[in-house]
Amino acid sequence: MHFRSLRDPIDTTTPQGMFSLQVLGAVAQLERSLISERTKAGIRAAKARGKLSGNPGIRERRPETLAMMTAAQKAAYGARIQATANQWLPTVKRMRPDHTWDDIARVLKQRGHDWTPERLRRAVRWLVTEHMTDPALLRKSPPRLPEDRLMTLVTGIHTSNPELTLRDIGAQLEKLHER
């Protein structure tokens, strides 16, 4: 695989182009190392002068600073949830409240999403609080008998993707280490 820049004279299909790219990479690595060195030296010098690291407002537990930090964290969390909701929320909408959060998290994990039941429930709760999805998703699922768990999981997999064959569902159960 080769790289060809439309704006710069770099074309890795030629020896000169490959050399140019390697030189640019080495210069970038040197700059990164120099920045790191200067930063570490500055931190050491500040410590030697008796300066404490970090945000003084947080260190001193000032309420206004802590409130700003909390608001920023909540905003970042909301942005992450909104950015990924289109990937997992349709499955949640199809499966809730008929299925448990554990079952939904398992189905999503099988599809490559890294969710725990509690994180998933918290994300949906945030969306409901922000009026971005139906509050019915948070209703309790009906109680399940322990021996119904595997059947519930099969139903959940089928509900989330009705196109699957029995063999496909069996393969997914194997991936989940279910027997």
pLDDT in tens, 83-102: 999 999 999 999 999 999 99
Are 103 and 95 in contact by the 8 Å Cβ rule? The answer is yes
Residues 6+ apart with CB under 8 A from 17: 4, 9, 10, 11
CA distance 32 to 167: 51
Given a cut of 80, is residue 178 above it in pLDDT?
no
pTM confidence score: 0.55
Helix, coil or strand: residue 38: helix
- Banded pLDDT at 146 (limits 50, 70, 90): low
Are 110 and 91 in contact by the 8 Å Cβ rule? The answer is no
- Banded pLDDT at 56 (limits 50, 70, 90): confident
Mean pLDDT of 7-14: 77
Q: Is the peptide bond before 97 cis (omega within 30 degrees of 0)?
A: yes
Given a cut of 90, is residue 142 above it in pLDDT?
no
How far are the Cα atoms of 78, 81, 116, 138 from residue 127, in angstroms, in the given order? 8, 8, 17, 11
**Residue % of the chain over a pLDDT of 90:** 58
What's residue 179's pLDDT? 66
End-to-end CA distance of the chain: 43
Between 90 and 156, the higher pLDDT residue: 90
